[in-house]
């Protein structure tokens, strides 16, 4: 019998607030280009006020991936934490409208506000993210319904949530519950700084609790610090049965139980690189959850990533199933 959910994600529930910005504006505001920075509440309010023509969407890495999977018609759920404020209610409602069960209701009371990420998109498509974590970073094991985790064929975790002990505990509870019920658990590394703060714990999680790991070159290389992508890929593959490394314009490398797959991509100048990694994960996990081979799953990830960088915003606008059919993948 099939499970209630094909993919369950656990991660930060962050409202994305997106605006275009010239590099001169970034310099003026002291924003470091092209990376994700955590900001305090006051700094977040300053940046939010400085944004012109804001576009507001429910975001967070795993939530973006789930939106892509919803576009593809999979049964999905999200484990996250929002406050019972305007942004939190917007987030929960938007997830449900996109077809993903938002299993934890907005939290009332005097807690931190709902998390938000101010994303400034430069003319070259590069994104500079300034994230106020708020309540989403307080997610703990008590927020994980074992019924939800056990009803997942695949669970997907994000490294951004790995910063606090209770976040780690929530991850482990989710992964163990899913795997004990016959599912697969995996993680997107999210950013090298996530690894640098907790390298030993990250490696232990990947080796002992994960069936797959997804990261870009910098993220994969941050795990073992060999300063050599091939050596680092081999080291990660030695502790995890499925390693997926996205290499931007150089394609994707997948190592699955000793077999390697290198998938080329067509280089394009992005309109907005926001969500490229998240939508690659959506396409890849769709392939994994629906029983496709690794090469096809990797190509699905590339098609989904190419779609999302062709427009502003971190979620697909086209029908990904149609794009997969056009590419001969289904």
Q: Which two tokens stand for residue 134?
A: 């708020």
Element (H, E) at 326: helix 320-326
The radius of gyration computed from the CA coordinates of the chain, to the nearest angstrom, equals 18
Beta-carbon contacts of 167 under 8 Å, excluding residues fewer than 6 positions away, are 137, 139, 140, 161
Q: Which of 264, 325, 268, 257 is nearest to 299 (CA)?
A: 264
Q: What's the whole-model pTM score?
A: 0.91
Q: Which two tokens stand for residue 69?
A: 């999977």
- What's the farthest any 2 CA atoms get from each other in the chain? 57
pLDDT at position 312: 83
Checking DSSP bridges between strand 252-256 and strand 36-38, what pairing results, if any?
unpaired
Q: Which two tokens stand for residue 1?
A: 């019998």
- The pair phi, psi for residue 3, each rounded to 5°, is -80, 165
State the residue for tokens 């029908």: 319
Q: Which of 162, 253, 245 is nearest to 199 (CA)?
A: 162
Residues 112, 9 contacting (CB under 8 angstroms):
no
Q: Which two tokens stand for residue 116?
A: 């938000």
pLDDT digits (tens, 9 = 90+) for 313-330: 888 999 999 999 999 999
Element (H, E) at 38: strand 36-38
- The pair phi, psi for residue 210, each rounded to 5°, is -110, 145
Distance CA 87, CA 115 (A): 8
Q: List residues bridging with 214 in a β-sheet.
A: 188, 244
Residues 300, 287 contacting (CB under 8 angstroms):
yes
pLDDT at position 1: 61
Question: What's the CA dihedral at 250, 298, 167, 16 to 10 degrees?
Answer: 70
SS3 letters for 37-104?
EECCHHHHHHHHHHCCCCEEEEECHHHHHHHHHHHCCCCEEEECCCECCHHHHHHHHHHHHCCEEECC
Residues 313, 305 contacting (CB under 8 angstroms):
no
- Give, for all 330 residues of the chain, the pLDDT tens digit: 689 999 999 999 999 889 999 999 999 999 999 988 989 999 998 998 999 898 888 888 999 999 999 999 999 999 999 999 988 999 999 999 989 999 999 999 877 999 999 999 999 989 899 999 899 999 999 999 999 999 999 999 999 888 889 999 999 999 999 999 999 999 999 989 889 989 999 999 999 999 999 999 999 999 999 999 999 999 999 999 999 999 988 899 999 999 999 999 988 889 888 889 999 999 999 999 999 999 999 999 999 999 999 998 888 999 999 999 999 999
Distance CA 118, CA 229 (A): 31
Q: Which two tokens stand for residue 31?
A: 């924003």
pLDDT digits (tens, 9 = 90+) for 104-160: 999 998 779 999 999 999 999 898 999 998 999 999 999 999 999 999 999 999 998
């Amino acid at each position: 019998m099939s499970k209630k959910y094909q993919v369950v994600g656990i991660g930060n529930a962050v409202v994305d607030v997106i605006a275009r910005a010239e590099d001169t504006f970034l310099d003026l505001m002291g924003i470091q280009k092209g990376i994700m920075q955590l900001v305090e509440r006051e700094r977040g309010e300053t940046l939010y006020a400085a944004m012109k023509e804001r576009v507001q969407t429910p975001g967070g890495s795993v939530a973006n991936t789930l939106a892509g999977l919803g576009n593809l018609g999979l049964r999905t759920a999200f484990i996250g934490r929002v406050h019972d404020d305007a942004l939190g209610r917007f987030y929960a409602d938007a997830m449900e409208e996109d077809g993903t069960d938002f299993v934890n209701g907005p939290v009332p009371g005097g807690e931190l506000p709902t998390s938000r990420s101010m994303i400034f998109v430069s003319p070259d498509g590069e994104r500079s993210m300034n994230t106020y974590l708020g309540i989403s970073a307080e997610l703990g094991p008590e927020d994980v319904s074992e019924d939800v985790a056990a009803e997942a064929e695949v669970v997907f975790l994000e490294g951004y949530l790995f910063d606090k002990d209770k976040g780690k505990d929530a991850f482990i509870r989710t992964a163990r519950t899913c795997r004990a019920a016959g599912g697969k658990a995996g993680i997107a590394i999210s950013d090298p700084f996530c690894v640098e703060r907790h390298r030993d714990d990250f490696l232990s999680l990947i080796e002992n609790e994960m069936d797959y790991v997804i990261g870009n070159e910098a993220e994969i290389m941050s795990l073992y610090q060999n300063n050599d992508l091939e050596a680092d890929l081999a080291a990660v593959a030695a502790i995890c049965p499925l390693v997926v490394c996205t290499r931007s314009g150089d394609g994707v490398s997948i190592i699955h139980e000793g077999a390697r797959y290198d998938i080329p991509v067509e280089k394009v100048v992005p309109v907005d690189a926001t969500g490229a990694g998240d939508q690659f994960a959506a396409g890849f996990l769709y392939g994994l959850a629906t029983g496709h081979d690794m090469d096809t799953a990797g190509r699905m990830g590339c098609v989904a990533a190419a779609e999302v960088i062709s427009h502003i915003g971190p979620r697909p606008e086209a029908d990904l199933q149609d794009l997969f059919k056009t590419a001969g993948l289904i």
